[in-house]
């Protein structure tokens, strides 16, 4: 089950991570993640794919140090994760976490301030990152003045601006329309090729997973385990033509077959009042 | 469970601190009995005023003033609110004027009411009626504005008269906003009457407060203040209760 | 009113739209002028001049009595100073207490109901008390107005600190922000719109407090002059005085509203 990459090239190492919610031994206790182990390489685009409630967001948050694991540990390089590591990992959430009360450029400045980046570098890094997503002319706007798609682009730019080796993304395009999603997906692929960053991407969209990832970790319904690891052999940057190849559809269908039973199981447990994902 | 205990604990602590502060100020530091009479003398005054019926008499005056002012305010407020909101044009013309006047501290006009109507009860009725007219009128306009015109058109096309349209379409739709306005207006009315009584009057709850103050009978003043506060709380609860019940209906 | 005809070419359409708005404004001006004219006629011919002063007399009294007399100008000036000091104090103390209470959740949940309960008490009932304790001078009036003004500010600061969107808290944490950063960049800005509502209400209440206390004390200040002008047979100076104070009140209110618009730009 564990796909071991060549040694020395591991960016993130997840070892036997288990996550429980609720009082220990109590009636409300929920096992969200069950003994998950996986390795993610440097420069890899990795997807966590699974049905709703499988714990993929929880896993992402644990890797990122925002939640503690109940058991097991996560290593970034050789550092154990005990809290957020803003220099190693930047986050992009589904909803824009840009502060609505600051302009775009002010948001970037604050983010760099948190990271203790020297003040003199702020503007340059901010404008470069904005340029890379094509939003340079909106630096003085308030987030409210931008469309949802533009906001997510700025969100992405902010994480680029942090110049972290790893970017964690939690269903960042879920609220966007299909066209914007495709365009941003292409941009993301190009970014990966250009910078060699490691990207961990949570999604429940099969097409998105196949289009973007080098490897897909398919998860089971709750309690979340790694069901399978699927490789997508196609170099970055990927073009939309990739989606037209028969390979693409095959992979998609394979993923669907794997997930079908998991999705059904997840829906069945939703009808059971015992469920209710906390994350 | 722990959260509730913590909650009650903090509140109880606060109350205790206030009482302790009062006692410390009067007993230990001997703050002039004039400003801060000892609690037992206030209690004694309170007791006396209850048993002599003085509270009751003053309450009657104040409440009857409030009732009359409120009645005037509600009737005129709804009426004028309705008339103004009959057309979009008149709403656009008049609503800003009405809310603009309400933005002025109407207490400024109190001396005019004394000038016109004297120091008796009628000046207070007029003053409070003026003050509490505004929330009713503005909320009536807002409520009626929120009724979708197609409902009105539908009713008209079925042959309903203006009165029927008002009763069966506009009034129910505007009801929650209107009821809220009625509650706010009542509280403003009560406060305005009290205010008028404190500033210049012959009788009523407010008058007794200012009178005790003038005669430096501070224990009695505190007793009256406590009574008014209790009255305010009760009225507040009653009015909120009525509003909630009305909204359910 | 018939809806604007949408079938004309856009040039005519925009001209018609402008006229509709203009119609409203002109009608409003006409109505107000009508009221003023009626007031003038009523004051001169219909109602006993001891009660109703016509606008022309009021304007005249404005210049001959109010602006001309240094004592009255001083009284008005003093009232203005009282409002300023009381408001400044209410803002500083109100925000301080509001932050102190609102920053912790148990503190907020416990004290908020108490503060709201106290807010229900009609302020005016305490006016004689303040006058007894502080005397009939400006100090008592400032204290009274302050006591009224802090409440809306406190209440709104506390209310604004509730319902912090966890999304921004998590975002801050993920970027390496500390708890202090959370307060500065999430909790506090989130609270600002509510704060300004409180500041606006606070100004209104503070002004009412100063006005009420000035009217209450007939030995000095505004109250002295309102009593004086009520007792003579020409009420024009009384009207003029009230008019002046009304204009000042509206101006102060507008200033706060402008500040509110400036600092909550990001919402729109």
Considering only CB atoms, A111 lies closest to which of C175, C265, C266, namely C175
Same domain? C64 vs C35: no
- Cβ atoms of B136 and B84 within 8 Å: the answer is no
Same domain? C20 vs C127: no
Tell me if C114 and B35 make a contact (CB, 8 A cut-off): no
A73 DSSP β-pair partners: A15
Q: Is residue C105 part of a domain?
A: yes
Residue B25 reports pLDDT greater than 90: no
For residue C107, the chain B residues in CB contact (below 8 A) are: 10
Same domain? C40 vs C77: no
Instruction: Look over chain B and give the mean of its residue pLDDT values, rounded to a whole number.
Output: 87
What confidence score (pLDDT) does residue B249 get? 66
Q: Is residue C158 part of a domain?
A: yes
As a whole number of angstroms, the distance between CA C259 and CA C264 comes to: 9
Same domain? C176 vs C65: yes
Q: What is the pLDDT of residues B233-243, one digit of tens each?
A: 999 999 988 88
Same domain? C22 vs C152: no
Residue A125 reports pLDDT greater than 70: yes
Tell me if C212 and B107 make a contact (CB, 8 A cut-off): yes
Copy the structure tokens of residue A276: 């209710």
For residue A90, the chain C residues in CB contact (below 8 A) are: 174-175
CB contacts < 8 A (A, C): 57
Same domain? C254 vs C146: yes
Q: Identify the CA nearest to A224 among candidates A52, A100, A29.
A: A52
Q: Is residue C52 part of a domain?
A: no
Percent of chain A with pLDDT over 70: 92
Q: What is the pLDDT of residues A77-121, one digit of tens each?
A: 888 888 888 888 899 988 888 998 899 999 999 888 888 888 898
As a whole number of angstroms, the distance between CA B207 and CA A266 comes to: 71
What confidence score (pLDDT) does residue B132 get? 96
Q: Is residue C14 part of a domain?
A: yes
Q: Do chains A and C touch (3 or more CB pairs under 8 A)?
A: yes
What confidence score (pLDDT) does residue C204 get? 92
CATH assignment of the domain containing C95: 1.10.3720.10
Same domain? C101 vs C233: yes
As a whole number of angstroms, the distance between CA A117 and CA A139 comes to: 19
Instruction: Look over chain C and give the mean of its residue pLDDT values, rounded to a whole number.
Output: 86
Q: Is residue C53 part of a domain?
A: no
Q: How far is A241 from chain C (nearest CA, A)?
A: 35
Q: How far is B181 from chain C (nearest CA, A)?
A: 17
Q: Is residue C51 part of a domain?
A: no
Tell me if C267 and A84 make a contact (CB, 8 A cut-off): no
Residue B227 reports pLDDT greater than 70: yes
Q: Is residue C77 part of a domain?
A: yes
Q: What are phi and psi of A173, to 5 degrees?
A: -105, 10
Copy the structure tokens of residue B62: 């104040």
Q: How far is B191 from chain C (nearest CA, A)?
A: 6
As a whole number of angstroms, the distance between CA B24 and CA C125 comes to: 25
For residue A202, the chain C residues in CB contact (below 8 A) are: none
Same domain? C93 vs C24: no
As a whole number of angstroms, the distance between CA A53 and CA C229 comes to: 76
Burial C51-78 (b: 16+ CB within 10 A, else e): ebbbbebbeebbeebbeeeeebeebbeb
As a whole number of angstroms, the distance between CA B124 and CA B113 comes to: 8
Tell me if C110 and B103 make a contact (CB, 8 A cut-off): no
As a whole number of angstroms, the distance between CA A109 and CA A106 comes to: 5
Q: What is the pLDDT of residues A48-62, one digit of tens each?
A: 998 877 888 889 999
Q: Report, as an integer, the average pLDDT of A152-169.
A: 89
Considering only CB atoms, B107 lies closest to which of C24, C109, C211, namely C211
What confidence score (pLDDT) does residue A277 get? 45
Who contacts C241 (Cβ-Cβ below 8 Å, separation ≥6)? Answer: C66, C72, C76, C222, C225, C226, C229
Q: What is the pLDDT of residues C141-161, one digit of tens each?
A: 999 999 999 999 999 999 888
**A169 contacts chain C (CB < 8 A):** no
What confidence score (pLDDT) does residue A258 get? 86
Q: What is the pLDDT of residues B144-183, one digit of tens each?
A: 888 887 888 888 888 888 778 777 888 788 888 899 999 9
* Model confidence, pTM: 0.78
**C47 contacts chain A (CB < 8 A):** no
Q: Which domains does chain A have, with CATH numbers?
A: 1-88+167-175+184-279 (3.40.50.300), 96-163 (no CATH)
Q: What is the pLDDT of residues B178-197, one digit of tens each?
A: 999 999 999 999 999 999 99
As a whole number of angstroms, the distance between CA B169 and CA B153 comes to: 10
As a whole number of angstroms, the distance between CA A154 and CA A156 comes to: 5
For residue C246, the chain B residues in CB contact (below 8 A) are: 104-105, 108
Q: How far is C176 from chain B (nearest CA, A)?
A: 30
What domain range includes position C38? Answer: 10-46
| Domain count along chain C | 2
For residue C187, the chain A residues in CB contact (below 8 A) are: none
Tell me if B209 and C125 make a contact (CB, 8 A cut-off): yes
Q: What is the pLDDT of residues A127-140, one digit of tens each?
A: 988 888 888 899 89
Model confidence at C3, in pLDDT bands (50, 70, 90)?
Answer: very low
Residues of chain A by 3-state class (helix, strand, coil), percent to 5: 40, 25, 40
- Cβ atoms of A128 and A206 within 8 Å: the answer is no
Q: Is residue C5 part of a domain?
A: no
Q: Is C39 exposed, middle or buried (0-12, 13-18, 19+ CB in 10 A)?
A: middle
As a whole number of angstroms, the distance between CA A19 and CA C98 comes to: 38
For residue C190, the chain A residues in CB contact (below 8 A) are: 101
What confidence score (pLDDT) does residue C57 get? 86
Same domain? C156 vs C249: yes
Q: Report, as an integer, the average pLDDT of A152-174.
A: 89
Nearest 5°: the CA angle C118, C121, C122 is: 145
Q: What is the pLDDT of residues A185-201, one digit of tens each?
A: 888 888 888 888 899 99
Identify the DSSP state of A50.
-
What confidence score (pLDDT) does residue B42 get? 84
Interface of C with A in 116-175 (CB under 8 A): 167-168, 170-175
What confidence score (pLDDT) does residue C211 get? 95
Same domain? C38 vs C67: no
For residue B194, the chain C residues in CB contact (below 8 A) are: 122, 124-125
Q: Report, as an integer, the average pLDDT of A227-237.
A: 87
Long-range contacts of B204-209 (CB under 8 A, 24+ apart): B204/B58, B204/B61, B204/B62, B204/B65, B204/B121, B204/B124, B205/B58, B205/B59, B205/B61, B205/B62, B205/B231, B205/C125, B206/B62, B206/C124, B206/C125, B207/B58, B208/B54, B208/B58, B209/C125, B209/C128
Interface test with C, best of A60, A97, A144, A152 (most C CBs within 10 A): A97
What confidence score (pLDDT) does residue B246 get? 81
Same domain? C205 vs C262: yes
A213 three-state secondary structure:
coil
Q: Identify the CA nearest to A170 among candidates C166, C163, C171.
A: C171
Radius of gyration for the alpha carbons in chain C, expressed in angstroms and rounded: 25
A74 DSSP β-pair partners: A14
Give the chain C residue whose CA is nearest to the CA of A140.
Answer: C266
A84 three-state secondary structure:
coil
Q: Please give the helix or strand (H or E) that residue C246 lies within, else none.
A: helix C236-263
As a whole number of angstroms, the distance between CA C40 and CA C47 comes to: 10
């Amino acid at each position: 089950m564990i796909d071991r990459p060549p040694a020395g090239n591991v960016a993130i190492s997840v070892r036997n991570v288990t996550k429980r919610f609720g009082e220990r031994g109590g009636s409300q206790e929920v096992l969200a993640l069950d003994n998950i182990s996986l390795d993610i390489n440097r420069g890899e685009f990795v997807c966590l794919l699974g049905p709703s409630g499988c714990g993929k967001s929880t896993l992402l948050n644990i890797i990122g140090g925002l939640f503690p694991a109940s058991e097991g540990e996560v290593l970034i390089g050789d550092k154990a994760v005990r809290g957020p590591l803003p220099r190693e990992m930047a986050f992009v959430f589904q909803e824009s976490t840009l502060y609505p009360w600051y302009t775009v450029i002010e948001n970037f400045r604050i983010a760099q301030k948190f990271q203790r980046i020297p003040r003199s570098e702020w503007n340059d890094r901010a404008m470069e990152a904005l340029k890379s997503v094509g939003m340079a002319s909106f630096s003085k706007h308030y987030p409210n003045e931008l469309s949802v798609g533009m906001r997510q682009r700025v969100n992405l730019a902010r994480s680029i601006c942090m110049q972290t080796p790893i970017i964690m993304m939690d269903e960042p395009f879920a609220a966007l329309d299909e066209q914007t999603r495709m365009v941003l997906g292409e941009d993301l692929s190009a970014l990966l090729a250009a910078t060699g960053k490691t990207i961990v991407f949570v999604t429940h969209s099969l097409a998105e997973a196949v289009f973007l990832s080098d490897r897909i970790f398919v998860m089971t319904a709750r309690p979340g385990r790694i069901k399978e690891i699927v490789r997508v052999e196609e170099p970055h940057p990927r073009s939309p033509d990739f989606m037209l190849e028969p390979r693409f559809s095959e992979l998609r269908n394979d993923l669907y077959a794997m997930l079908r039973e998991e999705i059904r199981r997840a829906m069945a447990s939703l009808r059971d009042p015992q469920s209710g994902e906390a994350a | 469970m722990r959260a509730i205990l913590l909650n009650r604990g903090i509140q109880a602590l606060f109350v205790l601190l206030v009482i302790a502060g009062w006692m410390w100020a009067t007993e230990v530091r001997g703050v002039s009995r004039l400003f801060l009479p000892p609690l037992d003398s206030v209690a004694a005054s309170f007791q006396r005023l209850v048993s002599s019926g003085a509270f009751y008499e003053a309450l009657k005056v104040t409440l009857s003033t409030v009732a009359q002012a409120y009645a005037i305010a509600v009737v005129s407020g709804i009426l004028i609110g309705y008339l103004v909101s009959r057309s979009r044009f008149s709403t656009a013309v008049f609503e800003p004027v009405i809310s603009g006047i309400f933005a002025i501290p109407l207490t400024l006009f109190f001396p005019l009411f004394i000038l016109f109507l004297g120091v008796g009860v009628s000046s207070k009725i007029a003053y409070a009626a003026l003050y509490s007219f505004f929330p009713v009128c503005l909320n009536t306009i807002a409520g009626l504005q929120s009724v979708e015109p197609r409902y009105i058109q539908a009713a008209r096309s079925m042959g309903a008269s203006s009165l029927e349209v008002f009763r069966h379409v506009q009034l129910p739709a505007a009801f929650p906003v209107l009821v809220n306005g009625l509650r706010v207006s009542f509280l403003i009315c009560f406060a305005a009457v009290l205010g008028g009584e404190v500033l210049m009057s012959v009788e009523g709850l407010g008058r007794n407060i200012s009178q005790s103050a003038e005669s430096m009978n501070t224990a009695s003043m505190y007793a009256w203040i406590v009574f008014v506060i209790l009255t305010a709380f009760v009225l507040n609860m009653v009015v909120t209760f009525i509003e909630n019940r009305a909204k359910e209906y | 009113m018939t809806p604007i005809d949408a079938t004309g070419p856009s040039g005519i359409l925009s001209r018609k739209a402008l006229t509709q708005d203009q119609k409203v404004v002109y009608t409003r001006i006409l109505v107000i002028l009508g009221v003023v004219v009626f007031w003038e006629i009523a004051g001169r011919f219909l109602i006993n001049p001891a009660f109703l002063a016509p606008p022309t007399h009021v304007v005249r009294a404005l210049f001959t009595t109010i602006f001309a007399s240094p004592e009255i100008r001083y009284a008005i000036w003093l009232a203005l100073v009282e409002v300023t000091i009381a408001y400044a104090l209410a803002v500083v103390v109100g925000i301080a207490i509001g932050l102190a209470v609102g920053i912790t959740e148990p503190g907020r949940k416990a004290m908020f109901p108490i503060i709201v309960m106290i807010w229900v008490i009609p302020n005016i009932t305490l006016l004689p008390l303040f006058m007894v304790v502080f005397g009939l001078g400006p100090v008592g009036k400032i204290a009274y107005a302050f006591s009224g003004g802090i409440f809306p500010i406190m209440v709104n600061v506390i209310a604004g600190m509730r319902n912090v969107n966890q999304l921004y808290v998590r975002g801050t944490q993920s970027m390496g922000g500390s708890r202090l950063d959370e307060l500065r960049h999430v909790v506090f800005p989130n609270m600002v719109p509510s704060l300004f509502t409180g500041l606006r209400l606070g100004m209104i209440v503070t002004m009412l407090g100063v006005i009420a206390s000035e009217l209450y004390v007939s030995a000095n200040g505004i109250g002295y002059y309102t009593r004086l002008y009520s007792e003579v047979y020409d009420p024009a100076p009384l009207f003029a005085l009230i008019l002046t104070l009304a204009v000042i009140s509206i101006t102060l209110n507008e200033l706060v509203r402008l500040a509110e618009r400036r600092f909550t730009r990001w919402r729109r």
